[in-house]
Amino acid sequence: MPVLTYVEAIRQGIWEEMERDPSVFVIGEDVAEYGGAFKVTDGMLERFGRDRVIDTPISESAIVGAATGAALMGMRPVVEMQFMDFIACGFDQIVNMAAKIHYRWGAKVPMVIRGPSGAGVHGGPYHSQSNEMWFVHTPGLKVVIPSTAYDAKGLIKASIRDENPVIFYEHKFLYRRIKDEVPDEDYLVPLGRAAVRREGADIAVITYGAMVWTALEAAAELEKEGVSLEVVDLRSLLPYDEAAVLASVRKCGKVILLHEDTRTGGMAGELAALIGERAFDDLDGPIIRVTAPDTPVPFAPPLEEYFLPNAQKLMAAARKLAAY
């Protein structure tokens, strides 16, 4: 199997869906001649033409509104946000239009809104946010965050084929750092299904996105100290795989909830509530959160490093919990 970077896997997934289904098209800022801010759509204009690779004005509200209308008319738009921070400018069209249409009258709205998110590349507070919880709280949407190249391709293809809106987060730190064997043949990774990235016995670490790699780094180090971490990659946050979360917690008896997003109102709080309601008697220690603090993402590299969860912070929490 060929080895692809995370960003190339996404590009191939979209490309293959455009080849397979003429109703799929790409729309967004600089997606045509420039090939996308991070080159996800590179080469698509030459292959598919201007009717299917559409540059737009800098107006996220207009882009999402146009895509929603196209989806209602039987097309399958793939919307690129140059940075997922800018999705706020299209917020009303997403949460009050696209997300509610199927509920209101049963129409299908097959569209994907995708783009780079996350910190670690010194982008500052307007280019580094993890704002996935805005949409996890919105019924009618699906929210997907892959951590591997294999999953990135399989999940983008599954998202494009889904019949209702999917918000697809791509962590920019992973774009060209993560490589994986990716099959040439067509495959899908189902939405709403978690993956156990590392089997463990002592502490379940539930996470997603770039923090999966942080968890695996910490697990490898803690193994030398006799502490066994199980790493669960959610892959989808809405819907998320409740059964996988509960199975891992019940197996290990202790749990750390890890994410790059800020703490208050983050996914960790939702997971903690689920575990408290459904697996309280299986716990042998307190539920621990390792997250970013409640501040904007700093620009200065030392401050950004302090802001972000990392393997050392996770290891310190795991040592404390293991000794509980």
**pLDDT by position in tens, the chain (length 324):** 899 999 999 999 999 999 999 999 999 999 999 999 999 999 999 999 999 999 999 999 999 999 999 999 999 999 999 999 999 999 999 999 999 999 999 999 999 999 999 999 999 999 999 999 999 999 999 999 999 999 999 999 999 999 999 999 999 999 999 999 999 999 999 999 999 999 999 999 999 999 999 999 999 999 999 999 999 999 999 999 999 999 999 999 999 999 999 999 999 999 999 999 999 999 999 999 999 999 999 999 999 999 999 999 999 999 999 999
CA 107 from centre of chain: 26
pTM exceeds 0.85 for this model: yes
What confidence score (pLDDT) does residue 156 get? 98
Residue 48 CA: distances (Å) to CA of 27, 65, 81, 110, 140: 12, 23, 20, 20, 30
Domain ranges of the chain: 3-181, 195-322
Q: Token pair of 59, please?
A: 């107006």
State whether the Cα torsion 175-178-182-187 is positive or negative: negative
Distance CA(281)–CA(85), nearest Å, equals: 40
What confidence score (pLDDT) does residue 255 get? 98
By the 8 A CB rule, do 111 and 71 touch? Answer: yes
Tokens 């539930």, residue located: 206
Q: Which of the following CATH numbers is that of domain 195-322: 3.40.50.920, 3.30.450.20, 3.40.50.300, 3.40.50.720?
A: 3.40.50.920
Four-point Cα dihedral 173, 176, 178, 182, nearest 10: 140
What confidence score (pLDDT) does residue 1 get? 87
The single residue of 102, 122, 127, 259 carrying the catalytic annotation is 127
Q: Is 200 helix (H, G, I), strand (E, B) or coil?
A: coil
Distance CA(244)–CA(246), nearest Å, equals: 6
b/e 243-255 (16+ beta carbons within 10 angstroms → b): ebbbbbbbebebb
Residue 264 CA: distances (Å) to CA of 107, 133, 257, 297, 318: 35, 10, 13, 15, 21
Distance CA(63)–CA(28), nearest Å, equals: 7
Residue 127 catalytic?
A: yes
Fold classification of 3-181 is Rossmann fold (3.40.50)
Task: Give the number of residues written for the chain.
Answer: 324
Let me know if the fold of 3-181 is the same as that of 195-322.
yes
